[in-house]
Structure 1
Amino acid sequence: MIIVLTGIDGTGKSTAARTLVSAVKSRGGRALLLSNHAGRRSMSNLSARLGVTLPDRLADAVESSLRVGNVLVSHLRAWRFNGLVVMDRHLHCQLALRATKGLPRGRFLPWLLARLPRPEAIVHLELDPAEAHRRITARGTDRESLADLTAFHAAYRELPEYAEFIKMDASAPAAQLAEQLGSLAGLAPFKTNRRAPE
């Protein structure tokens, strides 16, 4: 079973995914966490240090290549794994990022999405961009502005695929999100150590 998590930066995708996988394993189940990052944070930090900003199309080309490579490897690993697979991000994230930059969807990513194994659920973590920005500022590892997050938030809603996403309130603690995700995966209710959202 594959569950994909999407959402703007700061919604707690990675935290909820790790919490769910840990909870399943603690009960003796099999679960695998796969991250489909695009290297955006690393490129952003490098650009800031060098004082150079890549053109949007070039940045998207690099990010899309990394994202596609990670997604293909993740699906290969999922195909070989017998258990719950939780994917942190997917190609939908790149399509939303393109929209924030005013770039076209293109043909390849939608084509590839249609041909990859369909996840049992694509869960979109919903959070007000201002709260997401507060979380990002607190952790100090990203350079996303509130304007960027607001545009990203809107871009997700413009995706044709968004209507099929399962929406969850990301203002809930990670442990509570993990319990909701576990129920979605058809797991019996379980308790985790509740923590404040990250």
Structure 2
Amino acid sequence: MVPDLDSARSAFDDQRPRNAAVRPLRTVALVGIDGSGKTTQARQLATALAEWGLPATYRRNAGGRRWFGRLATALGRRDGEHLLGRKTMLFVESVLRWLAILRTLLRRSVTREVAIMDRYAVCQFASIRAHAKTPRPERLNRAERRARLAYRVFPQPDVTFLLAVDPAVAYDRIEQRGYDHEEMDYLRAATAAYQALPEHAGFVVIDANGTPEQVRQALLAHLGAFVPAAVPKPRVPAGPRRPRALLVAHARVLLVTVATLAAAASVLTYQLAEGF
């Protein structure tokens, strides 16, 4: 079912001045602790905005921790940190997330899409604080300083939603989905880390303890300023692509691939030279 954007738009339109211009929207990031509903809400938000004519696309900026956790389980280890070591896992996660964000932003620049991102740079900063040997969420440690140097090349999203959820609620959701596990102590440390980040003042905080529908409506209401007031015309199905159009499309894909590989080499060289 497509989320009900009508009610969210009308609630916003009641408060918006009649002559207010529609603000351009290029990037939206959903951040928060594991179990807050980032992936579910990002997918549905992209679908809802696409229904209203915005070229919105879901993009996941994962750091690979879940994949390494599954690999660790298959090899008889507890998790990715137990398999690779805490510092190595954080290093790998930082590099993979950096590359994922780069790929998302390159795609956006080429396709002109509205990127609805599941996770962004601040997720890595919070992860570093929460996974520290002695977690002190309020402190900026050496690993986070190095990560911030690498991630500062990325622009801030137009909107960053922090899905705020009680750690106990998040824990229950993670257990119910059944394919991974997080300790309650980590979820509490991650919650404190997000609240202590200097970027927190710029977040749009959404209460994510409610039902998915309630969270979705809250997200859509905040995005009312970016949604065109008029309902767009139905999309006309595109005809067969001409050879020139196909060539341009392939060239764009090649450009994204080459740029990503070049960035990968750069960030790996930098991180290996500096150490993590």
1:4–1:122 contact (8 Å) kept in structure 2: yes
TM-score by length of 1: 0.87
| Distance of aligned partners of 1:124 and 1:145 in 2 relative to their CA distance in 1, 3 Å threshold | same
| Distance of aligned partners of 1:74 and 1:16 in 2 relative to their CA distance in 1, 3 Å threshold | same
1:100–1:155 contact (8 Å) kept in structure 2: yes
| Distance of aligned partners of 1:136 and 1:188 in 2 relative to their CA distance in 1, 3 Å threshold | farther
1:39 aligns with 2:64: yes
Report the equivalent of 1:195.
none
Code of the residue aligned with 2:198 in structure 1: it is P
Offset from partner CA, 1:80-104 (integer Å, 9 cap, x none): 2334321100111111111112263
CA distance in 2, matches of 1:67, 1:12: 19
1:126–1:170 contact (8 Å) kept in structure 2: yes
Equivalent of residue 216 in structure 2, options 163, 178, 191? 178
1:73 aligns with 2:103: yes
1:16–1:174 contact (8 Å) kept in structure 2: yes
| Distance of aligned partners of 1:163 and 1:106 in 2 relative to their CA distance in 1, 3 Å threshold | same
Report the equivalent of 1:161.
199
CA distance in 1, matches of 2:44, 2:119: 16
Report the equivalent of 1:119.
157
Gaps of 5+ in 1: 190-198
1:127–1:170 contact (8 Å) kept in structure 2: yes
| Distance of aligned partners of 1:81 and 1:118 in 2 relative to their CA distance in 1, 3 Å threshold | farther
Q: Quote the offset at 1:22 in angstroms.
A: 1.2
CA distance in 1, matches of 2:161, 2:198: 15
Code of the residue aligned with 2:191 in structure 1: it is H
Report the equivalent of 1:92.
122
| Distance of aligned partners of 1:162 and 1:105 in 2 relative to their CA distance in 1, 3 Å threshold | farther
Equivalent of residue 64 in structure 1, options 66, 76, 94? 94
| Distance of aligned partners of 1:64 and 1:113 in 2 relative to their CA distance in 1, 3 Å threshold | closer
Report the equivalent of 2:257.
none
Report the equivalent of 1:49.
74
Which region of structure 1 is more displaced relative to structure 2, 179-188 or 11-20? Answer: 179-188
The number of equivalent residue pairs is: 189
Q: Quote the offset at 1:74 in angstroms.
A: 0.7
Other structure's SS at 2:69 match: helix
Q: How does 1:127-142 map to 2 (within 5 A)?
A: 127-142=165-180
Equivalent of residue 145 in structure 1, options 180, 183, 194? 183
CA distance in 1, matches of 2:210, 2:55: 25
CA distance in 2, matches of 1:125, 1:188: 25
Report the equivalent of 2:41.
16
1:21–1:31 contact (8 Å) kept in structure 2: yes
CA distance in 1, matches of 2:165, 2:190: 12
Report the equivalent of 1:196.
none
**Cα RMSD over matched residues?**
1.9
